[in-house]
Structure 1
């Protein structure tokens, strides 16, 4: 029987394994039903998602495992040159061309600090 996903929330749905609904007992032919009427008493579908996942266009997407804890991410804001604009070791100022920068190694020859977080 061709039943649509919307049938479960339709006022005309029969809740019978042998009939789809009162108007279309054998189901509908096509992508939609012109007789669909939202049932105000229908249970809302709960989209459960595990931690680290989210829905995009009704599809559950698992996020990759993060290598940093929340605390480590917050600490990174305090010392990394991407956020401070200064070398964490010698306080030398970095150029402000942030969009093209990939590596955050200190250009001060006396310092030698290298970003090993990437």
Structure 2
């Protein structure tokens, strides 16, 4: 019998091991129900949500701490190697392997510029 997690908190739920609900006695196909109505009398477990976090597909995701103003973030587009492909200090060009790069320290050993944005 296909029962989804929402069935436990639905106003139409039969709370019966043999019948899922009044509208869909044998359950629904898929992972959602168009007839779902939240039952105000059921206690829904409150999910813990710390400040600066959110849930994405049921998984708690902590947001990175933003220490840059919006203006600083926009200026970052003009000089950071992720966007320009060049060292902001000496202009040395980076290899085009952007998807695998985490740190953007200058490829020129004489320059010495280090990425401290991470």
TM-score normalised over the length of structure 2:
0.52
Structure ID, larger Rg: 1
Counting matched residue pairs gives: 93
Relative distance call for 1:29 and 1:80 in structure 2 (3 A) is same
Asked if structure 2 preserves the Cα contact closer than 8 Å seen for 1:4 and 1:32, the reply is no
| Aligned-residue offset at 1:51 | 7.4
Q: Which secondary structure state, in structure 2, belongs to the residue aligned with residue 4 of structure 1?
A: helix
| Aligned-residue offset at 1:85 | 0.3
Relative distance call for 1:69 and 1:110 in structure 2 (3 A) is closer
2:2 counterpart of 1:4 = no
Relative distance call for 1:113 and 1:53 in structure 2 (3 A) is closer
| Aligned-residue offset at 1:89 | 1.0
> What CA distance in whole angstroms lies between the structure 2 residues aligned with 1:31 and 1:70?
55
Relative distance call for 1:89 and 1:52 in structure 2 (3 A) is same
Relative distance call for 1:60 and 1:109 in structure 2 (3 A) is closer
Q: Which secondary structure state, in structure 2, belongs to the residue aligned with residue 99 of structure 1?
A: helix
> What CA distance in whole angstroms lies between the structure 2 residues aligned with 1:103 and 1:60?
27
Long gaps (5+) in structure 1: 14-23
Long gaps (5+) in structure 2: 1-6, 25-34, 41-48
> What CA distance in whole angstroms lies between the structure 2 residues aligned with 1:114 and 1:78?
17
